[in-house]
Amino acid sequence: MADKPKEDEIGTGEETEFEKLSSNYLGVAIHLFLSILALLLLIAAMITTYDTVIREFPSLWSAPQDEYGVLLKIIENLLLIAIAAEFALILLFRRMSAVAEVMVFVLAREAVSPKITPLELVLCVVAIAGLIVIRYYYLPGKNT
């Protein structure tokens, strides 16, 4: 049996009212700050989405040019927007599944880069597959 700690040892007694009150206010302040950061990220993602739709999509069917380059830029922008939205989810809810999803988007964005080597592409695909397995089999929550 474990010995009962002495009352005069540091950290074994109950919290004082001041400690309870200050930790509650500090927790609320941190949550409010993270909520504001998440809102700013979502606003930036919406602005970028609008900019991508208005400026980039019409260049796909305008005068002949490098359609592949334009499409690649659109995909990179959309993946970056998805990363920003997932980061906002992390700031608000602090879910490990959201962290795995952000990493999948980051790796997918890297995989569409034309400057990637074949070895890096294979490593990205393996990492994405590993993250999907981790997400669906090892992280708690809905698996939908």
For 89-109, how does the pLDDT look when each residue is reduced to its tens digit (9 = 90+)? 888 888 777 788 888 889 988
Ordered alpha helix ranges (H), the chain: 17-51, 58-61, 67-93, 96-111, 118-137
For 16-71, how does the pLDDT look when each residue is reduced to its tens digit (9 = 90+)? 777 777 777 888 888 899 999 999 999 999 999 999 889 888 887 776 677 788 88
What's the full length of the chain, in residues? Answer: 144
For the chain, the distance separating the N- and C-terminal CA atoms, rounded to the nearest angstrom, is 45
Is the separation of the CB atoms in 139 and 97 below 8 Å?
A: yes
What's the pLDDT at 142?
57
Domain ranges of the chain: 20-93, 95-144
User: For residues 19 and 83, which has the higher predicted lDDT (pLDDT)?
Assistant: 83
What's the pLDDT at 96?
78
For 2-20, how does the pLDDT look when each residue is reduced to its tens digit (9 = 90+)? 565 555 555 556 767 777 7
